Amino acid sequence: MKHLKRWLTGTLLAGAAAAFGGPHIGYLYPAGGRTGTTVEVLVGGRALAGINQARISGTGIKVVGVERVPGMGHIPAAQKRYLMNYLKRLRQGNTEAPPRTDETKEWRKNRYYDNLNTLTPLQRELVERNVYITRDPLQNSPSLADMAIVKLEIAKDAPPGRREFRLIGRGQISDPLPFYVDTLPEINEPRYTPPNVPHPRAAFRIPAVLNGQIMPGGESDLFDFHARKGEVLTFSVRARALVPFMGDGVPGHFQAVLEVLNANGRLIAAADDHHFDPDPVLVFRVPEDGRYTLRIRDALYRGRQDFVYRIRARRGREKFVMPEPEAPAEGMWTDAPPAGSELKLPAYLRFKLERPGAKLRWKFAVKSGEKLNMEVIARRLGSPLDARLAVIDPAGEVAVEVDDVKCPRVGTILHQADPACVVPEVGGDGICTVEVADASGTGGPEAFGYLKIAPATPDFTLYATPSGTSAATDNPAVVKVTAVRTGGFGGRIVLATPPDSELRIVGANTLDPDMDSGAFTFVAQSWRRTDNVARRVRIIGFAGDLRREALPADEAMQAFAYTHLVPAQELLAMQIWGSSQSRRFQWVDPEAVLSLVPGGKTTLRMWRRHVADTVESYSLAAAPKGIVLADSKESDGIVEHTIQAADDTPVGAANLILRVNCKYNNKGKRATDRITLPAVRLRVLKCPEK
């Protein structure tokens, strides 16, 4: 069962990238670097064969080398003894290869094994780990099976902060992971040392950034430092921030614990989170002069290659800066007036609940028939506030009270604690009261929030996944578009791409009123030459006077079950060569709208031009829930596909995308192409009453 679970979640973990044919990045180590330095980054992931480029968002970082690490599986016993001997010589400063035995026929071919004396320290460490560490199949994740090494030059004037790192190759773009640029000295945990070889102890001076991995076996990493009595030191961890979701683990991320030990090894300070954030922040006042040890481990004593961390160590407390959301179109955010004041609507207020149990109340006027929306923005900006919102009518009765609201799983925050509601009609004009409180009753200097009270305005936000895709001029890419509707908006959204965009939509191009997400097909523009370059894409949604650009995102699985949309900085596309087989297939009626009822069937017709010695098979891509391809039959060049709906198929609109797997002869060799046809519209109707 455990092996089945590993295989299943390894398949799912590739998420948005692998599902659409691209490489998947599971971790970066180190996940950042200092300005003015050159960094070798080890990338672990899946489907990395053929990668030859890396892309870093922002300016000031140059990619100077991309190398895929050769696979390192089982090593025959004789070869392993030879490699151990060779590695021992190298540690002693002897670069001459030891003599080989005559029987090397069964030895594993690997360019690293054959060139040990020319490897970089990182390459040699990977060999040593493979030679000395016994593999445990239960600790090996298929989503981390491949590795690559990317060499980066970070300019002295590179702006510090978060970047996005991707790999590119074979016309495919990986999902992104964060890479941080800092100005502090970077200290990496000591490299792996084989058994019976003294392991160096890590040490650092404050300020610094500490990098490491908690490897299989539940290890703890130790870093020594000296401090003086009375100093206040702050240690901030980035762990979940580096890999926010892991599909094959509970709770679905590296749960870091940070501890300080004194010179006698006694625990004197610890932290395992920061408010709701699993990444701990430890503020430590030094009790006396001396040597101390900073220890980091997983709360459950797990370990894996993607348990990567960065610890920022500095003196003093970090100054709290209250972030601000995007300014509303109708006005600006202003400081909240004193409690009890009457607000002039629309109101856009910033506030704090600094005392435990604190509540804030303001009055506001309502008019008969007026529809007002009320919303708190706090947790999504990183506030620890678990807001509760209440509206008290003119008679002093609570008309509505709301805590958490159901919302799409967008972003990396697991507890969506920001309430929103529609102000209920109170039977005429009057004065209502709004109350904002912390549902947890804690409050504090960082418990900030923003309150918005404004007329209900229909609107929507679009997300496009995956954030990196590739398409040909005659073979579409599949992009899922999700709409988050607000303010009572329930209209039809038409999707389009600007004329200068890298992609254009083909087939179905609307999200109908009962359709919050759908898979769409996009082809590359005919005027663009294939050049293996990833470029930005724009997908625009139109609904009346509303015009919204789709935000890039990637699907990620958390803890075997939950799927989240993780926003990305860029929506990228790459033009690839099309298939020689793609023009053999086309829809009989590309504008048709297929209809069926739950439990029913319908027919989708396609022209197919016959070519000798070819075999086709058909499947649905990103199929709507309950919809399957039941059968495919050909007659006189027309293939009739039978589409079947399960009894519990949801009623509503969806898109249907058909893929053709085509096997044929190409210059005497057997080849396989996967061809995607333009999306067609499907509507599942309610069963008529009997």
Structure tokens at 313: 């160590």
Is-contact 573 419, C-beta < 8 A? no
pLDDT at 10: 37
Give the domain ranges of the chain.
Answer: 2-180, 186-315, 334-452, 460-575, 582-684
Report the C-alpha gap between 558 and 365 in whole angstroms.
44
For residue 76, cis peptide bond before it (omega within 30 degrees of 0): no
Reported confidence tier of residue 137, pLDDT bands at 50, 70, 90: low
pLDDT over 70 at 19, yes or no? no
pLDDT at 562: 84
Residues 6+ apart with CB under 8 A from 264: none
Q: Which helix (H) or strand (E) holds 112?
A: helix 111-114
For residue 678, cis peptide bond before it (omega within 30 degrees of 0): no
Above pLDDT 90, what percent of the chain? 69
Strands 232-238 and 221-227: unpaired
Q: What is the mean pLDDT of residues 414-431?
A: 85
pLDDT at 140: 72
CATH class in words for 582-684: mainly beta
Q: 593 φ, ψ to 5°?
A: -115, 110
pLDDT at 526: 81
pLDDT at 487: 84
pLDDT over 50 at 418, yes or no? yes
The residues with which 154 forms a beta bridge, in sequence order, are 61
Q: Could you read off the pLDDT of 587-646 as tens digits, one per residue?
A: 999 999 999 999 999 999 999 998 888 899 999 998 999 999 999 999 989 999 999 999
Is-contact 528 478, C-beta < 8 A? no
pLDDT at 279: 96
Residues 494, 500, 505, 511, Cα dihedral to 10°: -20
Question: What mean pLDDT, rounded, does the chain reach?
Answer: 90
Reported confidence tier of residue 13, pLDDT bands at 50, 70, 90: very low
Report the C-alpha gap between 665 and 672 in whole angstroms.
9
pLDDT over 50 at 2, yes or no? no
Q: What is the mean pLDDT of residues 550-554?
A: 97
pLDDT at 139: 65
Report the C-alpha gap between 206 and 184 in whole angstroms.
9
What is the sign of the dihedral through the CA atoms of 664, 666, 669 and 673?
negative
**Edge-to-edge strand ranges of the sheet holding 551-558:** 503-506, 517-524, 477-486, 459-465, 551-558, 562-567
Q: How many CB atoms lie within 10 A of CB 94?
A: 12
Same fold, 460-575 and 582-684: yes
- The crossing angle, in degrees rounded to 10, of helices 121-132 and 77-91 is 140
Q: Does domain 186-315 have CATH number 2.60.120.380?
A: yes
Q: Could you read off the pLDDT of 499-516 as tens digits, one per residue?
A: 988 899 999 999 999 899
Is-contact 215 132, C-beta < 8 A? no
Q: Could you read off the pLDDT of 199-244 as tens digits, one per residue?
A: 888 999 999 999 999 998 878 999 999 999 999 999 999 999 999 9
Structure tokens at 25: 């990045």
Q: How many CB atoms lie within 10 A of CB 634?
A: 12
Q: Could you read off the pLDDT of 260-316 as tens digits, one per residue?
A: 999 999 999 999 999 999 999 999 999 999 999 999 999 999 999 999 999 999 999
pLDDT over 80 at 47, yes or no? yes
Nearest to 640 by CA among 678, 676, 675, 603: 603
Reported confidence tier of residue 113, pLDDT bands at 50, 70, 90: very high
pLDDT at 689: 66
Report the C-alpha gap between 185 and 211 in whole angstroms.
11
The residues with which 608 forms a beta bridge, in sequence order, are 585
Nearest to 361 by CA among 376, 345, 341, 346: 341
Nearest to 638 by CA among 676, 618, 609, 662: 609
Nearest to 21 by CA among 519, 466, 539: 466
Reported confidence tier of residue 4, pLDDT bands at 50, 70, 90: very low
> Considering the domain 460-575 in this protein, what is its CATH number?
2.60.40
Residues 6+ apart with CB under 8 A from 196: none
Q: Architecture of domain 334-452 in CATH?
A: Sandwich (2.60)
Is-contact 204 218, C-beta < 8 A? no
pLDDT over 70 at 49, yes or no? yes
Strands 680-684 and 593-596: parallel
Binning the chain into helix, strand and coil, the percentages to the nearest 5 are 10, 45, 45
Q: What is the DSSP letter of 265?
A: S
Residues 289, 291, 297, 299, Cα dihedral to 10°: -30
Q: What is the 3-state secondary structure (H, E, C) of 25-38?
A: EEEEECCEEECCCE
Nearest to 308 by CA among 244, 222, 379, 262: 244
Report the C-alpha gap between 232 and 619 in whole angstroms.
61
pLDDT over 80 at 20, yes or no? no
Report the C-alpha gap between 425 and 403 in whole angstroms.
20
pLDDT over 70 at 549, yes or no? yes
pLDDT over 80 at 7, yes or no? no
Q: Is 431 left (phi over 0), alpha (psi -120 to 50) or beta?
A: beta
Q: Architecture of domain 2-180 in CATH?
A: Sandwich (2.60)
Structure tokens at 479: 């992009």
Above pLDDT 70, what percent of the chain? 96
CA atoms within 13 A on the CB side of 545: 2
Q: What is the mean pLDDT of residues 463-490?
A: 93
